[in-house]
Amino acid sequence: MDLFGSNRQDLAINKWQHQLDKFVKANQKELAALAWGLFLEKGETDETLGLDMKPKPHFVYCPRAAIETLNRQVNNQIQEILGVVDAHKPEQEVLIIGIGNGQLKLIQFEPELSPPECFIEVGKDVDQLLEELEKQMSETIK
């Protein structure tokens, strides 16, 4: 045990969350562009963009029904996530649910430029963004 009450195993389990935080900070504009591009492709939907860490980091969609089911299974411990999902404004903020090691991590931020402006400025299509971001994540999140 260390001074803060966590052991090395806990630190290893949470390592992906810290690596994901760094990745998000370094790639806010590209993530905002991707989120907006996917929103344009799918339109209004009950699915939230997700990042599954296993077997290697990749983007997924998290249907609201699946989040509700999980919330019931964990005795409403993730009820706040449903509230954030309901209040999400894709034209102004990015919302991604990180999934790894049996844990969820909510990623929510408002980029300097709006997601539509990020999409225009980045100038890449959704497939290019997915490929580039997933490749970068695989190299930086272990």
Q: Does the pLDDT value for residue 62 go beyond 60? A: yes
The fraction of the chain above a pLDDT of 90, given in percent, is: 78
Asked if pLDDT for residue 126 goes beyond 90, the answer is: yes
Q: Would you say residue 23 has pLDDT above 90? A: yes
Check pLDDT > 60 for residue 7. Answer: no
Please tell me whether residue 62 adopts helix, strand or coil conformation.
strand
Give how far Cα 1 sits from Cα of 7, 12, 13, 71, Å.
Answer: 5, 13, 15, 31
pLDDT-above-70 percentage for the chain? 91
Amino acid sitting at position 100: G
Quote the CA–CA distance of 106 and 17 in Å, as a whole number: 10
Nearest partner of 133 among 47, 26, 39, judged by Cα: 26
Distances (CA, A) of 108 to 35, 121, 124, 125, 139: 11, 21, 22, 22, 22
Q: pLDDT confidence of 2, banded at 50, 70, 90?
A: very low
Q: Give the HSE-up count for residue 66: Cα atoms under 13 Å, Cβ half-sphere.
A: 12
Q: Report the pLDDT value the prediction gives residue 45, as an integer from 0 to 100.
A: 87
Mean pLDDT of the chain: 90
Q: Is residue 53 a contact partner of residue 100, using CB atoms and an 8 Å limit? A: yes
pLDDT band at 10 (very low <50, low <70, confident <90, very high): low
Residue 100 Ramachandran class (φ > 0 left, ψ -120 to 50 alpha, else beta)? beta
- What confidence tier does 109 reach under pLDDT thresholds 50, 70, 90? very high
Q: Are 85 and 64 in contact (CB under 8 A)?
A: yes
Reply yes or no on whether the pLDDT at 1 is more than 50: no
27-53 pLDDT tens trace: 999 999 999 999 999 988 889 999 999
Residue 42: which residues within 8 A CB-CB, separation 6 or more? none
